[in-house]
Structure 1
Amino acid sequence: MTENKISKQMLGAIIAPGIMSFCGVVVETAMNVAFPDLIQQFHISVSTVQWMTTIYLLIVAMVVPLSAILKRTFRNRPLFLTANLAFMIGLLIDMIAPAFWMLLLGRVIQGIGTGIALPLMFNIILEQVPKAKVGLMMGVGCLITGIAPAVGPTYGGIVNSFLNWRWIFVFLLPILLFSLAIGMKDIRQIKPTKRAQFDIRSVLMIFITFISLVYGFSNMGKVGTSDQANIACVSPIILGIFVLATVIDRSMKINDPIIHLRILKNKAFLGHLSGFFSLQFLTLGLSFVLPNYIQMVNGGNSLSAGLLIFPGASICAVLAPFGGRIMDQFGARKPILLGNILCLIAMMLFVALGTHLSDWMIATFYSIFMICIGISFGNIMTSGISYLKVTNHADGNAVFTTLQQLSGAMGTSVVSAIINHAQLIGGASKVALTVKGSESAFIVMTFIVMIGCLPLYKVVGGKVK
């Protein structure tokens, strides 16, 4: 039927902000392989260079929760233009940055752009795509952003091996210009905007929440080294949880909150959030541990590490729209549960063989995991939001995309802390200690995905409502 067709204009409106979101995550993971060069060039420590990732995740996590009220207040095209220009300005700053603080400034500005663009893409899908095609297009949207953590190390390894780290930013500029041209031509406004009350108190509390949580998790790698390090990790996390509870309570009481967090009372929506969190935790956790295992244990380099992860990313790219189509036709339960089963198989293989993983084992097991991401990750988000009223779809999208950033930061921080703790124990070679730490990380990630997907298994149902 004609009303179920997706026009070229609609596809362009989805792809344009999707490309921006893709570039944001690609830079985040691509720069990981360049950290040794940054440490040497700017004479900084390992803990300092990690702020390249931490500050970006922090800004994205702070901006994304505002997406619901931004959508209600501003038109789609000006939002997209602001996001795109901000990201390009950030790239230009990082291309020429003579000092590390300028690199961080560029990442902050890029984080603002990504924080606006990522929920904008999903809002356009939920608002403008025919209902029968929502699963397919959510799969396309998750394809664009979901494979970025795997593509990033490959891209960064190739560029850094043949040129230098600054070219990681240079090559993204023409892609962003292409995105800008498509977006300004194809993005449309369907629903009218309205003046919304901007609750400054809630905004400040949201900022405090994510500054505290991201800072606390970023310090997990230092836990156990001193009492001061323990306090620097635990205290911000406790503060963040307390302020988050205050934000949720305030959202329940005022008439026009930044995000309508009453949706968290919906048990089906909450169950989907749990599964979504655990899979994103694993995605970023594995994107940290596997390249390090390949280089530090198996003796590879940044290029080989990236190339070994790339097949899994390619499989995910092919399967993401296919998984969405399965949900459109047969409901959410089949692709989501099949994905969860494959995820558990992959993690159990990592745990069972974690002490002697060869390169081909890593590539194979990671590909199995990425099949899970391809057929289930986007469907979890689509299915979860379908349990909400249409008027709350933007709020549900904001919650999912915010949780995506937070769980990614937690995944990287927790895994790096586990490996770092194993290395600090000593008593063996660094290679042996890295293997031990990686094995422990695989066990923890397996436990998290089992706990996280249990509520999802109980609530995921048939066709999207």
Structure 2
Amino acid sequence: MNKDTISPKVYASIIATGLMSFCGVLVETAMNVAFPTLMRDFHVSTNVVQWMTSIALLAVSIIVPISAALKSTYKTKSLFLVSNFLFLIGLLIDATALNFWILLFGRVIQGIGTGIALPLMFNIILEQVPKHKIGMMMGFGNMITGIAPALGLTFGGVVLHSLGWRSIFWLLIPIVLISLGLGTWGIQQGSTLRKVTIDKLSFVAIAVFFTSMIFGFSNLGTGSFLTVLLPIIIAILFAWLLIWRSTRIEEPILKLSLFKQKDFSGHVLGFFLIQIFNLGNGFLLPNFIQQVNGNDALIAGLIILPAGIAGAVMSPLGGKLLDIYGARKPILIGTSMMLVETAIFSLFTAQMSNTFIMLIYIIYMAGMGMAIGDVMTDTLSVIDIKESAQGNAILNTTQQFAGAVGTSITSAIVTISQKQYSSLASGTRIGTQHAYILLFILAIIIVATFIRFAGKNQK
């Protein structure tokens, strides 16, 4: 794109696709609050009800890797319309579900819709936004989706207490319809189409890898060899099959040969660790506020909300800083703020009042908001522009995998500590401290990674 300005239709298309991703994350977080109610209404256990989140994550994880092939073969607007209609159908199924298994089916449909929509926003930005404004618009796109986790807890708590869990799905329908209207008007084709055949063996390998990995990690801390290690071993075997297959066909689903580029591999590693860090952090604090400080989910959501707003505000600012100064400074500042948060929480876990949590978490989310969009932009800058769709698919796939790993590892650490103490509050406090020590070590590795790799292809 040669123009220096961003057209209203491009803005509309970015907002439309961003709202789809926003709704996907919002419903996931909001439904976490409703787990106890769903267990009572449908007479299911904790291990069963958690599949409300896991099965949607699984659907997204399987669909996202084929996004580059879908983008090459089908028009962007067609993909958007399919994802939008699937998400709407999933919402309607869940809002009217008569039993838990229908509810799970609706979540699968929503996950497929989210998986198609998730890469579209970043592909549109990379193709249709002037190069010197890509950083700002990546930040703007991350702002739309970044506030969803913080809003989800508050939204879920308020709706659950006043209207009931079915209203979580009903109230999202107008947002999806607004997205549909904006996308129908604004989305334009930014690249030439060419048919790409999706390799069936690779797709099966991806599906088995994510199914096994998510099943195994979801049982960390509570499962046995058969429910934890065996699925992870199976996942590793199918990951090897995917790598083997990808090196022997002309059009792999994921172009893993990109990892031969050291700068790209370093960026993806840093991005992967940030996502583990983020999802782990997002599990620990609401859990701590409820189980240690004795508050309900609504209060937990309200305490975390200011940090979500800070992260959303900092996302476009971080992108603007990238456009002006390059990626290195905002990435290192943002990741350093993440490091500060974990250092404080790991040292002062016993003194974590709600006010203390709110203030320190604002520091973290501001840093996260500043860094994450710039990390994605900087990662894609080190590969050829023709490979941006493949790079985007790898980043989004990495994000889904990290989501399963981050929440599972931190929840397992807390669960193990809870079993060692007679008091749930004491076990949760000690477990949270141990988890934050792990995240602190992770944050050191993240900062060191980006000291090495950030900003190499930026001014």
TM range (shorter): over 0.9
How far apart in 2 are the matches of 1:379 and 1:402?
18
Partner of 2:444: 450
Deviation at 1:451, TM superposition (A): 2.5
1:443 partner letter:
I
Measure, in 2, the Cα distance between the counterparts of 1:234 and 1:452.
27
Q: Which residue of 1 is the match for residue 90 of structure 2?
A: 90
Mapped to 2, the partners of 1:313 and 1:13 lie a distance apart of 23
Root-mean-square deviation (CA, aligned residues, Å) is 1.4
Q: Deviations over 1:283-338 (max 9, x none)?
A: 22122111111111111111110000000000111110010010011000000000
State how far apart, in whole Å, the 2-side matches of 1:79 and 1:461 are: 33
Residue 53 of structure 2 is aligned to residue 53 of structure 1: yes
**Corresponding position of 1:183:** 183
Within 5 Å, give how 1:285-434 maps onto structure 2: 285-426=280-421, 428-434=422-428
1:234-249 equivalences in 2 (<5 Å) = 234-249=229-244
Q: Distance in 2 between matches of 1:406 and 1:363?
A: 28
Q: TM-score, normalised by structure 2?
A: 0.97
Q: Which residue of 1 aligns with 2:272?
A: 277
CA distance in 1, matches of 2:270, 2:117: 24
In structure 2, the residue matched to 1:205 is 205
User: What is the CA–CA distance in structure 1 between the aligned matches of 2:377 and 2:247, rounded to whole Å?
Assistant: 24
- SS of alignment partner, residue 164 of structure 1: coil
Note if contact 1:87-1:109 (Cα within 8 Å) is conserved in structure 2. yes
SS at match of 1:250: helix
Distance 1:254 1:366 in 2: 46
Structure 2: stretches of 5+ with no match in the other structure? none
1:460 to 2:458 alignment: no
Q: How does 1:116-131 map to 2 (within 5 A)?
A: 116-131=116-131
Q: For residues 163 and 185 of structure 2, what CA distance do their matches in structure 1 show?
A: 34
- Counterpart of 2:107? 107
Q: Deviations over 1:145-177 (max 9, x none)?
A: 222222211111111122211111111000000
**Cα separation, 2, equivalents of 1:452 and 1:21:** 26
Task: Please identify, of 110-119 and 449-458, the stretch whose mean Cα deviation from structure 2 is larger.
Answer: 449-458
Using the aligned pairs only, state the percent identity: 47
Amino acid at match of 2:317: F
Aligned to 1:17: 17
Q: 2:127 and 2:416 mapped to 1: Cα distance?
A: 46
Equivalent residue for 1:226? none
Q: Hey, what's the Cα distance between the residues in 1 that align with 2:339 and 2:260?
A: 28
User: Shift of residue 460 of structure 1?
Assistant: 1.0
8 Å CA contact 2:335, 2:446 repeated in 1 = no
Amino acid of the structure 2 residue aligned with 1:381:
M
Decide whether the 8 Å contact of 2:332 with 2:447 is kept in 1: no
**In 2, Cα distance between equivalents of 1:459 and 1:286:** 24
Instruction: Note closer, same or farther for the CA distance 1:279–1:95 as it changes in structure 2 (3 Å cut).
Output: same
2:246 & 2:351 partners in 1: Cα distance? 50
- Contact 1:385 1:396 (C-alpha < 8 Å) held by counterparts: yes
User: How far does residue 28 in structure 1 lie from its aligned partner after superposition?
Assistant: 0.8
What is the number of residues matched between the two proteins?
459
Whichever residue aligns with residue 303 of structure 2, its letter is L
The equivalent of 1:264 in structure 2 is 259
Where do 5+ consecutive residues of structure 1 fail to align?
A: 224-228
